[in-house]
Amino acid sequence: MSSVPERSEIDQEYTWDLESVYASDDDWEESYETVAERVEELQHYEGQVTDDAETLLSVLELRDSIMREVSTVAAYARMRRDEDTTDQQYQALAARAQSLAADAQSAASFIDPELQELTREAFDELVEAEPELATYDHYVDDVLRMKPHTRSAEVEELLADLSEVTGATSDVYNMLSNADMTFPTVEDAAGQPVEITQSNFTNLLKRPDREFRRRVYESYFDEWQSMRNTVATTYKNSVKADVKTARARNYETAREAALDGPNVPVEVYDTLVESVNDNLDKLHRHTELKRRALDVDDLQMWDLYMPLTGDEGPTVEYDQAAEYVVDALEPLGEPYQSRVDEGLDSRWVDVYENEGKQSGAYSSGTYDTQPFILMNYQDDISSMYTLAHELGHSMHSQLTKDEQPFVYSGYEIFVAEVASTVNEALLTNHLLETVDDPEFRTHVLNEFLERVRSTLYRQTLFAEFEHETHRLEEAGEPLTPDRLDELYGGLKAEYYEPAVVDDRIAREWMRIPHFYRAFYVYQYATGISAALAIVDGILPDGAGGEPDRDAAASYREFLRQGSREYPLDLLRVAGVDMSSADPIDRALSTYGDRLDELEALLE
């Protein structure tokens, strides 16, 4: 029987080293209590932020110091909870940390409104009096830019206090999908029971037994159907919270509010959707090629994840995957490559699935810790690519905190997804250049195509869906389960025209956790577009060619900037202009070329 191990059964070398953050939960408690008391110090500055340069510097440095410690407290609790989402002790720690973070944000909420009483000229005069304030130049510029959408100190404090409530739908969904929902067990071709989980669902849809795939698909989505009203209500209220919060900040739409945070024009979003829709013929060709390769009359939704080779693909154990990834990063320079290698040896990665573990993968860590990566590694090519992806995020964080002060140590998702996808593209080039096995190479090409399909096309489909759900809410139209199914199913039919779009796939919106972070997913699509353009610059002659060291240096400089500039300006450092359709069109052209290449191999 296929089973998921208990966490205690996983070898320590394949778990992340959270003891490097706090040696024990008692140490976490001590840090929690200390920083909770420090939060109160901020209130002494209320009404005095811009009195003079010395006071302004003091309050900003105090705020940063507190937020640094709060972020570490919160990250540890969240990661401990994610090791086993059924563990009530760590559920409680995570909830306390979330409340602390909300309290800290609330306590600091007066700072930006008071800063907005300044003019740009007045701030420059304060910098002359206290040169260390120059560190905060871009931060202040961003605060002043947001003045039309910042409310009074009292309202800002209220909005900060309500952040736990407005974000509660995400917590409800997370606990429902990861802790409370259980999926059926189905029999494989040998009559052996196989447990379906959130983490292994798509992998099970890559198995060659088509009847098994159908049973997995139907059982999985039938379980979601049993939660249909609950999930629809949860999502509906998440959308309502987005819309009401946007209105509270004087935005016309929730989309405008979400994109204005990182200062990305809505035209970038619209250009993405337009370019992808103009290139749906390539996705249709990919879908039709898959139908022919699988030798089926109709491509069903349970066939969609199958490799074009018609089998599960080669086994790639974690240690081998790590070696491939490290070798693939050589074009980025030896220091970058060595740092990744050292990180893998230092237990950055929590590798394997265990009972109750948070599904999916992410990169975490804070300014004062090493990076941490959660995975549910499945010994396949797809998992190897996920490792490369998350290491891109981790190295972005590492290089940023090496170079930038805490205030710029984060970065917007718009640029974050570039770093992750550059690693994926470099891995593709490396494997195609160095691995001779035809079957392996075919699977690498297939993986590249699937990554573009799922990142550029699928995430844009998601972006269209959430744009429309928010538009409906803003127009006062009800978001019923039937309406959500109708909307999602219609988009699925447009994007996957040659395939059979059934009633079950219309419920797929129910299983997408990213929808609880509104207008987030489009950045995966813009990210892969920018990343492929960057790799084209670093490897102008393709795989096997001599890397352009200047282009690699520009890319590393981009990674070191954190949030020192706005996203579109940062990407220009790396040589990419995302205000135009060019990177998207180039990425889709590369997708078409790779599709031609694989089609020729299969024939």
DSSP labels, 10-53: S-GGGS--GGGT-SSHHHHHHHHHHHHHHHGGGGGGTTTTTS-H
Predicted pLDDT at 439: 86
Residue 353 domain flag: no
Give whole-number Cα distances, 279 to 273, 426, 456, 576, in Å. 10, 24, 11, 21
The structure's pTM equals 0.85
Residue type for position 130: E
Please provide the DSSP assignment of 415-462 as one string: HHHHHHHHHHHHHHHHHHHH---HHHHHHHHHHHHHHHIIIIIHHHHH
The answer to the question of residue 48 being in a domain is yes
- What letter represents residue 495's amino acid? Y
Residues 284 and 161 in one domain: no
Residue that finishes a domain, picked among 166, 187, 206: 166
- Same domain assignment for residues 564 and 417: yes
- pLDDT beneath 70: ranges in the chain: 1-2, 310, 543
CA gap 514, 413 in Å, rounded: 12
Alpha-carbon distance of 252 to 391, in angstroms, equals: 37
156 burial type by CB count under 10 A (0-12 exposed, 13-18 middle, 19+ buried): buried
Pair (147, 285) in one structural domain: no
**Domain-embedded: residue 145:** yes
Strands 349-352 and 362-364: unpaired
- Are 271 and 151 in a shared domain? no
Do 158 and 298 belong to one domain? no
What is the phi-psi region of residue 93: left when phi exceeds 0, alpha when psi lies from -120 to 50, beta otherwise?
alpha
Adjacent-strand bridge partners of 349: 373
Q: Which of 390, 417, 424, 450 is catalytic?
A: 390
Range of the domain at 336: 262-345+380-603
**Average pLDDT value over all residues in the chain:** 94
168-227 pLDDT, tens digit per residue, is: 899 899 889 888 899 999 999 899 999 999 888 998 998 999 999 999 999 999 999 999
Q: Based on the fold, state whether residues 271 and 159 are members of the same structural domain.
A: no
Phi then psi for residue 363, to 5 deg, are: -110, 135
- 298 CB-contact burial (10 Å; exposed 0-12 / middle 13-18 / buried 19+): exposed
Q: Is there a contact between 28 and 94 (Cβ–Cβ < 8 Å)?
A: no
Between the alpha carbon of residue 568 and those of residues 258, 415, 421, 506, the distances in Å are 16, 8, 17, 35
Question: Is residue 501 a contact partner of residue 302, using CB atoms and an 8 Å limit?
Answer: no
Tokens 């127009």 -> residue: 475
Task: Take residue 18 and report the two structure tokens written for it.
Answer: 């959270």
Q: For residue 485, tell me if it sits in a domain.
A: yes
Domain boundary among 139, 166, 193: 166
Q: Is 96 within a domain?
A: yes
Domain closes at, from 166, 191, 206 = 166
What end-to-end distance do the CA atoms of the chain give, in Å? Answer: 38
Question: Is the Cα dihedral 496, 502, 507, 512 positive or negative?
Answer: negative
3-state secondary structure 361-408: CEEECCCCCCCEEEEEECCCHHHHHHHHHHHHHHHHHHHHHHHCCHHH
Is residue 126 in some structural domain? yes
Tokens of 116: 């907005």
Q: Please tell me whether residues 408 and 302 are part of one structural domain.
A: yes
Q: What CATH number does residue 569 fall under?
A: 1.10.1370.20
How many structural domains compose the chain?
A: 2
- Residue 356 within any structural domain of the chain: no
Of the candidates 339, 398, 391, the residue with the CA atom closest to the CA atom of residue 367: 398
Indicate which CATH number applies to the domain containing 39. Answer: 1.20.140.70
Strand order in the sheet with 349-352: 349-352, 372-377, 362-364
Is 234 within the bounds of a domain? no
546: annotated active-site residue: no
